[in-house]
C-alpha cells in the first residue's frame, strides 16, 4: 500500500489548546433523531462525541456554555433541549445545568453565575429566528444573538462539524468577534476527511448511498474529476436516480428529490466516468421480489448479485467511504445490502469512513461501529467537505485567526 500520512491540521485553524481561559462558548451539533410521539432521543452518538470536547474543557477548569439546535420550526423533531442536557450529564458524569432561554435575561444571568468546571446548556438555538439567517461573518456578527452573548465569553469553540456547511450566526458570527478555535470533534473530522483529499496512488472506493441526492451527485462528480476515488459503488436513492436515467425507467424516479441541475450532473458524470461507476445489477422491490433494474417497479435494497459485485470491488480497496445506506435500513429485511457491504468495508479496507445519521445508526445496529476508522458526525457537511473542504465554518475560523491570533 502507498504511503498515506494523516493530513496535518492547517496552521490557519487554531486548535482547542489555545482556548483555555475563563468562560468559553461551545457550538456543538446535538441535532439527534427523536421519537416523534414521546420525544425520546433515539440515537445519542453526536451527544457522546461532543462530550469528549466538553470534558476536556471542564477538566481544564473552564466555565463551559453549550449551544446547539434540534430540528427546524414546523418539524416534528423541533424541540427543547432539556433531555439533551440530561443525556450529556450522563456522559460527563457531572450535572449539566439547563436554562429554557437562549439569549434573554434568564440565559445571561445563568451564564454570569457559572463557575470554573461547570457546564450550562442553553435552549434550542432555532427558537431564535435569527439563527435561520445565512450570510457573511461580518453581517451575522451584528445579530442580536451574537451581540448579546459574545461579550460574556473569552473564547468561542466551534465543534459543530455537522453544521459547518451552514453560514448561520452561531457558526460564523461568533468567530468574527471572539478568538475562536476548533473543538476535538471538528479537529478529528478535518484530519480524517482531509486524509482522502490528501491522498494519491491508493485504491479509494466511494459507496454513494443515502437520500441526499444533489449533494452526493456533486461530490461523486468532483472526486472522480480530481482522481481521488478509483470506483464509486452507487445505491440508495442516489443509485435509484442513476438507474432511472441509465435505463429510462421513470418508475424509479418516484420519491427522488432532484432538480434538473442534479439530473444533468448525474448524466454528465455517467458519460465521463462510466468505467468507474458501478451501478446495481439487481434490486429488491417493495414486494420483496428481486428485479432487473431495467424493469423494477421500486427499489428498497440492493440485490444479492449487487452485494457480490460491490464486495468484489471492496476486496482491493485501501480506503472505503460510505455516505449513506444502500436501502431502506429502517426495515430490517431491507438492511441486508447495507450490512453486507459495510462488513466487506471493515474486513478489507485499511481505512474506513462513514457519515450520516442513518449510516451511523446502521453501523451501531450491525455491531460494526467500533471497527470503522472514522465515524463522521456530519451528514451534508460530510458530503460537502469531500467536494469542497472550504466550508463556511472553516472559513469563519480562518477569519477569526486573522483577527485575533496573528
DSSP 197-250: HT--SS-EEEEE-SS-HHHHHHHHHHHHHTT--SEEEE-HHHHHHHHHHHHT-G
d(CA 103, CA 152): 11
At a CB cut-off of 8 Å and minimum separation 6, what does 271 contact? none
d(CA 87, CA 172): 27
Closest CA to 216 of 260, 251, 255, 265: 265
H-only helix segments in 62-205: 82-92, 105-113, 137-140, 144-149, 174-177, 184-197
Q: Which fold has domain 16-185+389-405?
A: Rossmann fold (3.40.50)
Q: Which fold has domain 203-372?
A: Rossmann fold (3.40.50)
At a CB cut-off of 8 Å and minimum separation 6, what does 323 contact? 206, 207, 208, 209, 210, 212, 216, 219, 355, 356, 359, 382, 383
Q: Torsion angle of alpha carbons 69, 70, 73, 74, nearest 10°?
A: 170
H-only helix segments in 248-286: 260-272
d(CA 182, CA 13): 7
**Residue pair 241/213 in contact by the 8 Å Cβ criterion:** yes
**Residue pair 145/51 in contact by the 8 Å Cβ criterion:** no
* Cell numbers describing residue 227: 482522481
pTM of structure: 0.86
- Exposed/middle/buried for residue 17 (C-beta within 10 Å: 0-12, 13-18, 19+): exposed
d(CA 275, CA 214): 22
d(CA 292, CA 303): 9
- What confidence score (pLDDT) does residue 8 get? 40
The ranges of the chain with pLDDT < 50 are 1-9, 11
* Cell numbers describing residue 247: 435505463
> For the chain, how big is the Rg over CA atoms in Å?
22
CB atoms within 10 A of CB 243: 23
DSSP H or E stretch at residue 68: none
d(CA 381, CA 398): 18
Tell me the pLDDT tens digit for each residue of 190-215: 988 887 777 766 899 999 999 889 99
Give bridge partners of residue 233 from the DSSP assignment: 207, 278
Residue 149: alpha-carbon gap to chain centroid: 26
Of the CA atoms within 13 Å of residue 60, those in its CB half-sphere come to: 18
**Residue pair 168/130 in contact by the 8 Å Cβ criterion:** no
d(CA 58, CA 285): 51
* Cell numbers describing residue 181: 478555535
d(CA 404, CA 406): 6
- The boundaries of every CATH 3.40.50.1260 domain in the chain are 16-185+389-405, 203-372
Closest CA to 376 of 321, 333, 339, 334: 321
Residue 405: alpha-carbon gap to chain centroid: 28
At a CB cut-off of 8 Å and minimum separation 6, what does 384 contact? 165, 215, 219, 391
Amino acid at each position: 500500500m502507498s504511503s498515506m500520512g494523516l493530513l496535518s491540521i492547517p496552521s490557519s485553524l487554531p486548535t482547542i489548546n489555545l482556548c483555555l481561559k475563563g468562560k468559553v462558548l461551545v457550538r456543538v451539533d446535538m441535532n439527534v433523531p427523536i421519537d416523534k410521539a414521546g420525544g425520546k432521543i433515539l440515537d445519542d452518538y453526536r451527544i457522546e462525541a461532543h462530550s469528549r470536547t466538553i470534558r476536556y474543557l471542564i477538566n481544564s477548569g473552564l466555565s463551559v456554555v453549550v449551544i446547539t439546535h434540534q430540528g427546524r420550526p414546523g418539524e416534528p423533531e423541533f424541540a427543547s433541549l432539556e433531555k439533551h442536557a440530561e443525556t450529556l450529564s450522563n456522559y460527563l458524569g457531572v450535572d449539566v445545568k439547563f436554562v429554557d432561554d437562549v439569549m434573554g435575561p434568564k440565559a445571561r444571568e445563568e451564564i454570569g453565575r457559572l463557575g470554573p468546571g461547570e457546564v450550562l446548556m442553553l435552549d434550542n438555538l432555532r427558537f431564535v429566528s435569527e439563527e435561520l439567517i445565512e450570510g457573511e461573518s461580518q453581517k451575522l456578527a451584528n445579530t442580536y444573538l451574537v451581540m448579546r452573548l459574545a461579550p460574556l465569553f473569552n473564547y468561542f469553540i466551534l465543534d459543530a462539524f455537522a453544521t459547518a456547511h451552514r453560514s448561520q450566526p452561531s457558526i460564523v458570527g461568533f468567530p468574527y468577534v471572539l478568538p475562536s478555535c476548533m473543538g476535538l470533534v471538528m479537529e478529528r473530522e478535518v484530519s480524517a476527511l482531509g486524509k482522502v483529499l490528501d491522498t494519491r496512488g491508493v485504491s479509494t472506493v466511494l459507496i454513494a448511498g443515502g437520500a441526499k441526492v444533489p449533494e452526493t451527485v456533486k461530490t461523486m462528480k468532483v472526486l472522480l474529476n480530481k482522481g481521488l476515488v478509483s470506483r464509486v459503488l452507487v445505491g440508495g436513492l442516489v443509485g435509484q436516480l442513476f438507474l432511472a436515467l441509465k435505463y429510462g425507467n421513470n418508475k424509479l424516479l418516484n420519491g427522488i428529490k432532484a432538480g434538473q441541475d442534479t439530473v444533468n450532473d448525474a448524466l454528465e458524470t455517467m458519460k465521463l466516468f462510466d468505467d468507474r461507476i458501478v451501478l446495481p445489477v439487481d434490486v429488491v422491490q417493495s414486494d420483496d421480489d428481486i428485479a432487473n433494474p431495467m424493469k423494477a417497479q421500486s427499489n428498497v435494497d440492493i440485490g444479492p448479485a449487487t452485494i457480490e459485485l460491490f464486495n468484489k470491488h471492496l476486496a482491493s480497496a485501501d480506503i472505503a467511504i460510505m455516505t449513506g445506506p444502500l436501502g431502506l435500513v429502517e426495515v430490517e429485511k431491507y438492511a441486508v445490502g447495507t450490512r453486507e457491504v459495510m462488513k466487506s468495508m471493515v474486513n478489507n479496507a485499511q481505512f474506513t469512513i462513514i457519515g450520516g445519521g442513518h449510516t451511523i445508526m446502521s453501523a451501531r445496529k450491525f455491531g460494526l461501529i467500533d471497527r470503522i476508522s472514522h465515524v463522521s458526525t456530519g451528514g451534508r457537511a460530510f458530503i460537502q467537505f469531500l467536494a469542497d473542504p472550504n466550508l463556511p465554518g472553516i472559513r469563519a475560523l480562518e477569519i477569526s485567526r486573522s483577527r485575533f491570533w496573528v
